[in-house]
Structure 1
Amino acid sequence: MTGHDDIWNTLYEAWSSGETSGLATVVRTFGSAPRPTGSSMLLTPEGRIVGSVSGGCVEGDVLERARETILDGTPQQATYGISDNDAFAVGLTCGGTLEVFVEPVSIRTFPELAEVIESARAGIPVAVATVLDHPRPEAVGAHVVVRADGHYSSLHPLGAPTDLVDDARHLLRTGDSGLLTYDTEGVRIFVRPLVPPPRMLLFGAGDFAAALTTIGRTMEYRVTVCDARPLFTTADRFPDADEVVVARPDAYLAQEAAAGRVDTRTVIVSFSHDAKFDIPLLETALGLDAAYVGAMGSRRTHLRRTQALSEAGVPALALARLSSPIGLDLGGRSPAETAVSIAAEIIAARYGGRGEPLSHRAGPVHSLHAVR
């Protein structure tokens, strides 16, 4: 439940007690909207607020809608933008537009919530599909819970589009929220994946890895540091790591991939300067469908590395996926500054960013589509 643990855990507490909460979710954005789709704000039965949908711009109006939906049990939809007549009261000063769905959440309106929470806590990815528009008004606000294996459950006879499960499974694989529109049926459904945090696998127990561990955790990755040298690979040297593993890097990566613990969101970085570890590791990594594979080293090291990988049989197309020398050109030199440049490249790879100053180009501030 990446980034939303507090909201979902708090929601489940109220649900379990038989109370009704108000859940507001950003289901669509345009332009420079302040928060991405899937961002949520929860109003608990006792009046506590958890989360945010806009960073403060429209929270007051959304909060009032949440109060209303708790009282009357009816979902609401609202669109906010700078062009609103009440722009100064509830508009977005950043100039973007966002669409928010506000729903009452209780055992009656969301009977599948227990299954969602149990799966998420067990590390089983699930996608929650919420009906926003439907020819049958009683279906609005209903939910379908979809798992990666195609299993789905709902206590509501929605008559939902047959493509919904496949579409939800695709979003579940990428970890991205998405709004699905089925024009022929007049149906709109918002899909929000609840997945374990993406993994960041760092190989080479040095200062640069330690710096990226701290940033990676802030970016909500589950960070593992792996090195074959037990003297350097200790938990006290990497306090921000979720795991510190003493193992041969390529063997550990192959083991994790075989166990299904490497996916299309996984980030793999080699800080090793020893070819006997570096080359087998990258050979393994470039054979996986990971989000990002990077390796530290000079341009001379990169040339030697790519030659060795090519001789090992790594195809040119796979080699082209290797980010080396690693990071964006920010001009920094220290481990912390280098870690920022690597993190910046990882973000750019995910969202299709170009790594240039926003002040140097026109158009939307935020990318419209994530690469992964």
Structure 2
Amino acid sequence: MATMVVVAAVVIVVFGPKGAEGAPSRAFFVFGDSLVDSGNNNYLPTTARADSRPYGIDYPTHRPTGRFSNGFNLPDIISQRIGSEPTLPYLSPELNGQKLLIGANFASAGIGILNDTGIQFVRILRMYEQYELFQEYQVRLSAEVGSEKAKKIVNGALVLITLGGNDFVNNYFVTPFSLRSRQFTVSQFSRYLITEYAKILQRLYELGARRVLVSGTGPLGCVPSQLASKSTNGECVPELQEAANIFNPLLVQMTKDLNSQVGSDVFVAVNAFVMHMDFVTKPERFGFVTSKEACCGQGKYNGIGTCNALSNLCPNRDVYAFWDAFHPTQRALGFIVDAIFAGTNDVISPMNLTTIMALDSNNI
């Protein structure tokens, strides 16, 4: 299904005290794919959905929400850590009035950097559409608080974006072959993606984002779906791991180049590969009994097909690194957020989220 990879996130993080109306003075905006989609695809005619049981089994309501998780997803956990309310999906009818000041989630499961990624999922919100909705949001916000205040809210917001994994797993490496794999070698394709991703981030800057954490892909060859379909011995799939190892360093350099162009540390690179490999290679250190088998699924490693009401379901999600064939469990995501907040320069650079928040608090 959507974002069929362990992909990390892009975050801008700035958080301040609550405003007079009780809403946070810094909004939170979320863009990207299924790792961060909080339910937009529920409102779209798409096959990339997480709106049926047992999705959401560990969410407070114990019901599916559209999140590709057993409970909370990445933006939820970040919101919790900074003391903010979770952002609503932009397509939700509940997102109006003062709730607009909290921010909005524009993410859509299945999308990629490229517009031809995820075509098998039919109707999804590609990045240009997410940005069109973001512009619409800003018009609505201006109507609520005035254009000057709206601009300040957007400029000072926390932004999360995650992209890239689907471009490999649901595009380039689609079996038995894909158009993109005929056009490019893995190295050429990675460089092409980076060029296109840079355009997406530049557009985000033009739309008002002023500090963005940009993450690379996770270990694409180690997720249960790829182990089930491409691995012969349960080891991570070399071709997909090679792709991640080419893409991620290029992404780090790209963020540095963008920062030089804008003259500020707007873009912060997150090394999702290292964050994920920690618990993929040493699951027992994190209290997991397995990092190969998904909690919910069927077939080899529970990695075949989608998680649904007829799937095998583990009784304790906290001891599994992966929830379904592609996405980490709520508990695993917590470790990723730990690294985003407190990681050293080898996993997040030029600074982690805690440092960013401290620096930005001085500018409020």
Q: Give TM class, smaller chain.
A: under 0.3
**Larger relative contact order (Cα-Cα within 8 Å, sequence gap ≥ 6):** 2
TM-score normalised by length of structure 2: 0.28
- TM-score normalised to the size of structure 1? 0.27
Q: Which has the higher helix share?
A: 2
Considering fraction of residues, name the structure with more strand.
1
